[in-house]
């Protein structure tokens, strides 16, 4: 998902993965699955098959952990901020973990065409000191939209596949 805002001389692009459910929705799904699972486990425990109850609890705990992990991974953000002097790229979960400041005049867009018709192009913003890959988790349509948006802000420095030959 791509959000684009412009205020005065500053343009901000927020790139984030698509997700279909919020954490509260995931909790409701977990509750809906827990009720019949724990009900059956308690019924079997009442009949004397007590090992089913801890196994049902471990199963629900594993499901809750998996849902939390996926939700956490989907909180990843890339924020690209353009102003007259520099390009700032922040990446992280909930808050920036890595940040780059690239001079606007020296920065270019590197585009690697897609290998397959269903893939989107790979993109990176680079300067003399840094090479920052952006939008690597986007689908094809969103990658093309981001590419079109970045081309309005940056010059394309390279548009080719990386050379696989080594000396």
User: Residue 157: pLDDT band by 50, 70, 90 thresholds?
Assistant: confident
Which H helix or E strand runs over 19? none
Domain identity same for 43 and 80: no
pTM of the model: 0.76
Domain identity same for 55 and 122: no
Domains of the chain: total? 2
What is the full DSSP assignment across 94-160? Answer: SS-SEEEEEETTT-EEEEE--SSTTSPPEEEEE-SS-EEEE-TT--HHHHHHHHHHHHHHS-EEEES
Q: How far is 154 from 165, CA to CA, in rounded Å? A: 28
Domain identity same for 124 and 153: yes
Domain identity same for 155 and 81: yes
The length of the chain in residues reads 167
Domain identity same for 92 and 145: yes
Do 141 and 93 meet the contact criterion of CB atoms below 8 Å apart?
no
Cβ count within 10 A of residue 85: 10
Domain identity same for 122 and 96: yes
Domain identity same for 87 and 150: yes
> Does the pLDDT at position 152 exceed 50?
yes
Q: Tell me the CATH number at 100.
A: 2.30.29
Q: How far is 99 from 77, CA to CA, in rounded Å? A: 12
Domain of residue 27, residue span: 23-73
Domain identity same for 90 and 154: yes
Domain identity same for 33 and 80: no
Which H helix or E strand runs over 34? helix 23-46
Q: What is the pLDDT of residues 10-38, one digit of tens each?
A: 999 999 998 888 889 999 999 999 999 99
Does residue 167 lie within any of the structural domains?
Answer: no
Say what percent of the chain tops pLDDT 90.
59
Does residue 165 lie within any of the structural domains?
Answer: no
Domain identity same for 113 and 153: yes
Query: Tokens standing for 134?
Result: 């952006």
């Amino acid at each position: 998902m791509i959000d684009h805002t412009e205020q005065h001389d500053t343009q901000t692009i927020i790139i984030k993965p698509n997700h279909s459910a919020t954490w509260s929705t995931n909790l409701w799904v977990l509750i809906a699955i827990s009720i019949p699972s724990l009900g059956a486990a308690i019924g079997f425990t009442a009949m004397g098959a007590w090992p089913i109850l801890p196994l049902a609890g471990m199963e629900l705990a594993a499901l809750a952990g998996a849902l939390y992990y996926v939700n956490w991974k989907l909180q990843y953000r890339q924020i690209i901020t353009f102003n007259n002097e520099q390009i700032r790229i922040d990446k992280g979960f909930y808050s920036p973990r890595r940040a780059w400041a690239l001079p606007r005049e020296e920065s270019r867009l590197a585009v690697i065409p897609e290998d397959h018709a269903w893939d989107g192009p790979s993109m990176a913003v680079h300067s003399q000191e840094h090479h920052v890959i952006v939008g690597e988790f986007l689908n094809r349509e969103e990658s093309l939209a981001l590419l079109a948006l970045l081309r309005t802000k940056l010059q394309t420095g390279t548009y080719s596949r990386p050379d696989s030959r080594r000396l």
